[in-house]
Structure 1
Amino acid sequence: MRIVLVGPPGAGKGTQAAFLAGNLSIPHISTGDLFRANISQGTELGKQAKAYMDAGNLVPDEVTIGMAKDRMEQPDAEHGFLLDGFPRNVAQAKALDTMLEAADMKLDAVLDLEVPEDEVVKRIAGRRICRNDSAHVFHVTYSPPKQAGVCDVCGGELYQRDDDSEETVRTRLEVYHTQTEPIIDHYRAQGLVVTISALGKVNEVTDRAMAALRGEHAA
């Protein structure tokens, strides 16, 4: 299957992408991984991306599209892939349409993870990170530390990252609504969108997604 995963920040896309790709035996292709791989390997596209990033500028669509195209042409993606973070806007979605058409391929589904905005804010703004080890992550509601502000693992101070503040989260949501959400309408016109609730336990959301994808695939 060839799937695009869409959803707002805090919807759990990364977690669900890993589980879904594993269940479907297809590679999980994330924008973050593409950038890191191309930059670390020193590819031409990686050098271009790094130059923009070092200057504090957004990486142009054509660079991101080029990285995605190269990755989708790898042997392990021959029979399918799950795209996470790409396409990020309608221009990228149209470029993907063109790429797939040229390769005589098509998407099977666009999985839209739906989460109420207030829940997104609650999920992200409630995160607390250990200053000693960023791998120690807690949540004031869902996985609180035994002692407020103190890491259960090492006793380090827990803090809220600037990126996780409510103000920043709402700004990220606005960017999602204006730039990324329109791709849902783009793909809905092609009959590809499958929307599921991303509320509940991780395994419940995965089961819901798999059931929806089976239904879409059968259609």
Structure 2
Amino acid sequence: MRYARKYLIFFGPPASGKGTQADKLGEKLNLPVISPGELLRHERDRGTEIGKQAGPILNRGGLASGEIIEKIINKRLAKKDAKHGFLLDGYPRAISQLKFLNNRFKKIASDNDIILAVYIHVSAKEVKRRIAGRRVCDCGASYHAIYNPPKKQGICDLCGAKLYKRKDDSAEIIKIRINRFNKSIKPILKHYKKNNILININGEQSIGEVEKDIFNKLKDKV
């Protein structure tokens, strides 16, 4: 039997810790973590053609068009390290994205491969509290003043660069993002539950407890 490739989908509301947990599991499984949101922000900050299109939308808390997101995902999945499986961070967020992803899996995955969706649940109140202290780095690392502080205040542990607050982490924009997420997530959860691949995780635990919870629920599946 051919080795089973692993395709894991991590999703949840903003600041649910899905990126942190995807990175931890990706390291354990030796799989790349693909975050469309990070890819878009990188394009925006570099001033690329895609970044110029998506930048103004991201800055006001909106969603980039399906065409733009599909383009950057296809570009990333074409890289060699994604051929044997990957973790998706924060995608899909809408039915159109779910349909696109399902079509991609039909092309690249076989019946022997593993596809699982990990949903990290966090309340709106907790999301707002977490975002207030969140700081990020251009290298992709993310920190929190209370829950996951860097060793040196304001400086990234990984590359030594200065940390900053994301433009879309303002109180006004985060309210928009939470409301949009809550409206769009129900049919996606229903789809994954119906296909018996949904794994629910309580995200309002410590980072270590969430990591342990995910590992325990996945250990017999991956």
TM-score category, normalised to shorter length: 0.7 to 0.9
- Point out where structure 1 has 5 or more consecutive residues left out of the alignment: 130-134, 145-150
Equivalent residue, structure 1, for 2:72: 67
Structure 2: how far apart are the matches of 1:40 and 1:72? 21
Q: Could you tell me which amino acid in structure 2 is paired with residue 212 of structure 1?
A: K
- The partner residue of 2:107 within 96, 102, 106 is 102
Question: 1:120 deviation in Å?
Answer: 2.1
Equivalent residue, structure 1, for 2:177: 172
The 8 Å contact of residues 43 and 50 in structure 2, kept in 1 or not, is answered as no
Rg larger for: 1
How do residues 84-123 of structure 1 correspond to structure 2 at under 5 angstroms? 84-105=89-110, 108-123=115-130
Structure 1: how far apart are the matches of 2:68 and 2:220? 34
Q: Secondary structure at the match of 1:59?
A: coil
Q: Taking every aligned residue pair, what percent have the same amino acid on both sides?
A: 29
Structure 1: how far apart are the matches of 2:144 and 2:28? 26
The 8 Å contact of residues 40 and 54 in structure 2, kept in 1 or not, is answered as no
TM-score (norm 1): 0.73
How do residues 142-157 of structure 1 correspond to structure 2 at under 5 angstroms? none
Question: 1:193 deviation in Å?
Answer: 0.6
Q: Cα–Cα, structure 1 residues 29 and 54, in superposed 2: closer, same or farther, change >3 Å? A: same
Deviations for 1:28-48, whole angstroms, at most 9, x for unmatched residues?
A: 101133225556788xxx524
Question: 1:12 deviation in Å?
Answer: 0.9
Equivalent residue, structure 1, for 2:188: 183
How do residues 1-219 of structure 1 correspond to structure 2 at under 5 angstroms? 1-36=6-41, 47-54=49-56, 58-105=63-110, 108-125=115-132, 127=133, 138-139=145-146, 163-165=169-171, 168-217=173-222
CA RMSD of aligned residues (A): 3.5
Q: Cα–Cα, structure 1 residues 89 and 198, in superposed 2: closer, same or farther, change >3 Å? A: same
Question: 1:177 deviation in Å?
Answer: 0.6
Structure 2: how far apart are the matches of 1:30 and 1:189? 25
- Point out where structure 2 has 5 or more consecutive residues left out of the alignment: 1-5, 136-141, 156-164
Q: Cα–Cα, structure 1 residues 164 and 98, in superposed 2: closer, same or farther, change >3 Å? A: same
Structure 2: how far apart are the matches of 1:210 and 1:47? 39
